[in-house]
Amino acid sequence: MGCTESLVMFGQEIYIGGLQVLHDQYWVDVPPVPGAFVVNIGDLLQLISNDKFISVEHRVVANGAAEPRISVPCFFSSIMKANPRVYGPIKELLSEQNPPKYRELTISEFSNMFGTKELNTSALHHFKI
């Protein structure tokens, strides 16, 4: 059984809540949807999408469900390999009505800022234009 099949099975068989997102300074439950996957958008995707997709502060809380809640987090990280490539808002998303909101940066620069930011804050404001 491949990884994709395992992920689909988790989504189809287990409907256990516990995921919450921060909305207007309140933690709000995200109800499980049968057969669905939840994808949390991170800061780097918010930056390259020029705020078309918004990073979400989230948490998972324990509950009294009889079955375990299974989460499979996946993180993008290329800090181990030096890469001079520059990332910024996707050019096709930009226009006079939608100018870039962030400056271009390298993954190393982003990772360094992300690693030094305070807890419960975003690194994005350091890259705003």
CATH number at residue 43: 2.60.120.330
pTM for the structure as a whole: 0.71
Look up tokens 């300074």; give the residue: 25
Containing domain of residue 29, as a range? 3-127
Q: Is the pLDDT of residue 120 over 80?
A: no
Q: pLDDT category, 11, cuts 50, 70, 90?
A: very low
Structural domains of the chain, count:
1
Is the confidence at residue 43, as pLDDT, over 80?
yes
Give how far Cα 107 sits from Cα of 48, 63, 96, Å: 12, 37, 27
pLDDT the model gives residue 128:
94
